Every structure is written in C-alpha cells, then in structure tokens.
Structure 1
Amino acid sequence: MLLGLAGNSCIGHILRCFRAKTHSSFTSPINSFQFSRSIYCATMASAAAGETRTEPVYFSDTYLFSFDKASVLKAEKLEGDSNDYAVVTDQTIMHPQGGGQPSDQGEITTSVDGTDVVFQVKQVSKAKDSQEIKHIGCFSSGSAELLPVGQTVKMTINEDMRRLHARLHSAGHLLDTALNRLNASDLIPSKGYHFADGPYVEYIGNVANEERDKLMASMNEVLSDLVKENIATQITVGDSGERIVSIAGLPCPCGGTHVKSTAEIGPMKVTRMKKNKKNMKMSYSLESS
C-alpha cells in the first residue's frame, strides 16, 4: 500500500522514522521519471490481478498542473439521484484526498468528432488497498458516452489550490523537524490535518500548561530559521519500495504533494497547543493561507 494515500495520515507512519539520524536505509535522490515509475511498478506488482490501476503522476512533480497523456479506463455514473460520474484513467496528476491532505480539483477535457467534452472534477478519491484513483464530478459539456475506454484526455488542476495544499502539508512535516531540533522527544506525531480551515498535527504525549507558551515561542523561532534556510525537499524510494519524503532533512513515508524547499512554505507559526484526550494538538497557520 502507498502510505498516506488512504484514510490514515502519513504522519502516523512517522512513528517508525521520526527522529531519524541518518538516511542510510534510503536510496539517494533519483530523477522524477525514474521515481514515479519505480513507485508505480513496485505498487502494481503487489496489486490484485485484474484490478484497474492508476499511475500517480503527481508523485513525480507537485507543479505539473496540466497533463495530456492520460487514457480513460472507465467512466461510470454514481449510484443515486445526482448527475455525478466517476472517471478512472491510467494516469493522473490529481491527488486524492488522504494522508491528511485535501483532494485536488480541476477538469478533464477532450474532443471527440468535433464535440468538446468537459468533465468538472470536484473530488478525487482512492479506496484503501486499491490502486484505482477515481475522479468524481459532472459533465459541463459532452457525456460519458464520449469517454470510451482508451480515449486520450487532458487534465488540468486548480493551480492555486495545489500550491496551497503542498505548502500546508509540508508545513505539517516542518513542525516535526522543529521539534526534532528542539530535542522534544516526548512528543511523537500521530495524526495530521493539512486543510486550510484549521491545520494541525496531533502528538502522542503532553506538555504542561505552564510550558506550552515557552515551547510555542521556541517552535516559532526554529520554524522561521528553517524557512529562511531554504532546505531542499528530498524524495526517495525506500528499501521496500515506499515513497520517502524528507522535509528539512527529516524523512517520512508519505504520498502527498510537497514544496520544493522550505522557503516555498513561507512564514508560518504555531498558533495554539491544546490537550486533546491523551494527545497534544498543535495548530499552525501560514501567511496568506
């Protein structure tokens, strides 16, 4: 399974790599095409025979906002009274909701015998343990009959939304790096929510009430330094074929989209620390998010 693409947050998987002091178990960075194909082939080899499969092209380039090489595998009307359909293609640049990250939105277009087909993608989804990525939405022009199997289509995503999602997701990882620099080993990340309407990371552990303001101030100083240092994001393939994303040097299995460097996250800060049952919830914000 590709970590971070289903319902569980990729941050939960940091439990086995958080505070890592070395990258010796990971391969060195490789080019985008090799990376995308390596992850895709490793995943496809373990998929069930006969299952519809979609290659996640977004793995190789967060900033690929348009793509004209996808082919339709199926287009089916959803159950119920709505006019929504699910379109599945052999490749996609659209990230499905999962791993604490929101879904991309955009459109799928083509022309068949002079008729323009425009499919508005409102939601992208991927079921747990499935390799099929579904684009959910409706036709503003044309119909499903004009999207036969094998039809080549063009995908365009909402660029502003993708850039924001990447910043928010990478910022969530940067909290972990900041804690690592502060040697706050009592806090272990367990859950992430990288949505614009109140992003946060939950940590296993506790910080005493009287220590929270001090930790928040220290965190914000370190976060400011990390952004200014403009540390490049590293994406590698692990020994078991999993995708490893390192934000400011801290590796984590993750299937999300991320910025190229910490400078692209922009100014950020921890806004609140609150006890949530047995966990500590750390809320954060981005400038202009």
Structure 2
Amino acid sequence: MATEQLFTADAYLREATARVLAHEERGVILDRTVLYARSGGQPGDSGALAWSGGEVAVPEAIKGEEGAIIHTLAPGAVPPPIGAEVTVTLDWARRHRHMRMHTTMHLLCSVLPGIYATGNQIGAEKSRLDFDLPEPPSKEWFGEKLNALIAGDHPVGASWITEAELDANPQLVRTLSVQPPRGAGRVRLVRIGTEAQQVDLQPCGGTHVRSTGEIGRVEVTKLESKGRQNRRIHFILAE
C-alpha cells in the first residue's frame, strides 16, 4: 500500500488530489501526497485534507509500512471516508524553511570534504549538523564559507543511480547516522552545482531549493563539543 511521493519529482508542488486507501491508528493513508514524511532528520510536513463534506488538519506526515505515508490526525478528528477523493494541501511556508535548511546542510558538508556527518536535525527555526571533527574552524569561518556558496546561486538538482552503483562508490555517502533510502533498486542523488563545477553530490531523499540563492543568508550561531571528536554546528536562517 505504497504512497506515491509527489514531492520527490517536484518539491514545489503545494497541493494535489488523492484517494483515501486506508485508515490507520495514527491517521490516513492516501494513494499519493505532496507531504514529505519525517525521515533523515527532516520533520514531516504539515497540511490539511479536504473532501466533499469535510476538512481536517494534518499535524505531520510520517512513514508507515511498505512505503505508505501516514497523514496523522489530531485526537478525535474525523477522517475522510475510505475511497473518498481528497485535496491534500501543504503548509508551504514551513516546508520551504525546511528546504532552505536542508540545502544549507549539504553546503556544510561541501566545506568539510572528507569529513563525515554524524547526526543532524532540521527545524523551521534552527538546525544543527554534527561532524566527526576534532578541531573545527570558527563559527565565523563556517558562516563566511556558507554565505559565499549561497551568494553563488548554484543550481540544485537530482538524478538517480542504482543501488549497485552506490555500493561501488561508497564515498558518495557523507553521513554515518543516516543512510540513503534503499529497497527500490535505485538511489536519488542531489547535486549542488554543475557536473563541470560541482559543489556537492550525495544521496538524499529530502526536499531542497532549486538554487542556493533561494536560501538567503544564514548565521552559524554556535559550535558545541559533543564528545572527543564530535562537533555540533548550529545555524539559523538570517533572512
């Protein structure tokens, strides 16, 4: 009972019609959706479902079994009937901040070549990324590097490779804590820059902006030590 993930092909799609496949204890499963399900450190999207005779808020989309996406409902909310056609609408302002934050994380990886990320958390107001890095540069250094890449307005796009190709190129994976989505036989690569002038390339199932200029300025607010070598980098969207 897999849900078609419309956001994978178009992260800017804000609403779509869908069919209710099932009710689940935590919410509703649709045949397709524009809402990203929580995973990889990125929160699940929020939004709403509307149908003939009703409307209900979706606090967060989460992963279900066998590729299903569950549209969670508040306790006591009345779900749309099974088989009903619904319009699923995305809370765009919140998602767009997640997209800007997530793309910034890829830029952080690009300024630390060969260094693995060990954890992350994306938020609409603040985010953080951990690295296996005993002696990090200053927060001002990170801010300068990130904002220069953002100002460069590099394109952001996606392509696909097979799981076998990823296995043959393990250096593409930059995270130790989050592994790329597998099981479908192919893996999505997110590229920042062009093939000729590549800024970053790594597997990722999340949502991103179309170009780095869309992020706007960011501010690195704090560096923290989280163990002998683990360093946590906190940042916010400054505009």
TM-score by length of 1: 0.68
Distance in 2 (alpha carbons) for counterparts of 1:264 and 1:131: 31
Match of 2:177 in 1: none
User: Greater strand percent: which structure?
Assistant: 2
Match of 2:13 in 1: 64
Show CA shifts across 1:227-260 (max 9, x none).
1110000201112211111234311111111000
Residues 63-82 of structure 1: pairs in structure 2 closer than 5 A: 63-68=12-17, 70-76=18-24, 78=25
Distance in 2 (alpha carbons) for counterparts of 1:265 and 1:179: 19
Match of 2:45 in 1: 104
2:203 equivalent among 240, 250, 253: 253
Distance in 2 (alpha carbons) for counterparts of 1:119 and 1:219: 42
Distance in 1 (alpha carbons) for counterparts of 2:192 and 2:76: 39
Distance in 1 (alpha carbons) for counterparts of 2:218 and 2:125: 15
Does residue 134 of the first structure (1) align with residue 74 of the second (2)? no
Q: 1:107 to 1:140 in 2, by over 3 A?
A: farther
2:231 equivalent among 280, 283, 288: 280
Match of 1:13 in 2: none
Query: Which residue identity is paired with 2:11?
Result: T
Residues 25-40 of structure 1: pairs in structure 2 closer than 5 A: none
Match of 1:221 in 2: 144
Distance in 2 (alpha carbons) for counterparts of 1:267 and 1:198: 13
**Structure 1 gaps, min length 5:** 1-51, 79-84
Show CA shifts across 1:60-88 (max 9, x none).
111111112x1111124x3xxxxxx5110
Match of 1:242 in 2: 187
Distance in 2 (alpha carbons) for counterparts of 1:192 and 1:246: 19
Q: What is the alpha-carbon root mean square deviation over aligned residues? A: 2.0
Distance in 2 (alpha carbons) for counterparts of 1:287 and 1:217: 14
| Contact 1:117-1:139 at 8 Å conserved across structures | no
| Contact 1:230-1:263 at 8 Å conserved across structures | yes
Does residue 268 of the first structure (1) align with residue 218 of the second (2)? yes
| Contact 2:126-2:237 at 8 Å conserved across structures | no
| Contact 1:108-1:155 at 8 Å conserved across structures | yes
Distance in 2 (alpha carbons) for counterparts of 1:218 and 1:121: 40
1:161 equivalent among 88, 94, 107: 94
| Contact 2:47-2:58 at 8 Å conserved across structures | yes
In the TM superposition, residue 197 of structure 1 has moved relative to its aligned partner by 4.7
**Structure 2 gaps, min length 5:** 164-185, 194-198
Match of 1:55 in 2: 4
> SS of 1:98's equivalent?
coil
Query: Which residue identity is paired with 2:210?
Result: K
Query: Which residue identity is paired with 1:73?
Result: L
> SS of 1:260's equivalent?
coil
Q: When the two structures are aligned, how many residues end up with a matched partner?
A: 211
Distance in 2 (alpha carbons) for counterparts of 1:140 and 1:244: 40
Show CA shifts across 1:69-122 (max 9, x none).
x1111124x3xxxxxx511011111011111111111111111xxxx2212101
| Contact 2:94-2:124 at 8 Å conserved across structures | no
Distance in 2 (alpha carbons) for counterparts of 1:124 and 1:237: 24
Indicate the percent of aligned positions where both proteins have the same amino acid.
Answer: 27
Distance in 2 (alpha carbons) for counterparts of 1:139 and 1:221: 46
Distance in 1 (alpha carbons) for counterparts of 2:152 and 2:125: 27
Distance in 1 (alpha carbons) for counterparts of 2:121 and 2:222: 14
User: Greater helix percent: which structure?
Assistant: 1
TM-score by length of 2: 0.81
Distance in 2 (alpha carbons) for counterparts of 1:130 and 1:201: 29
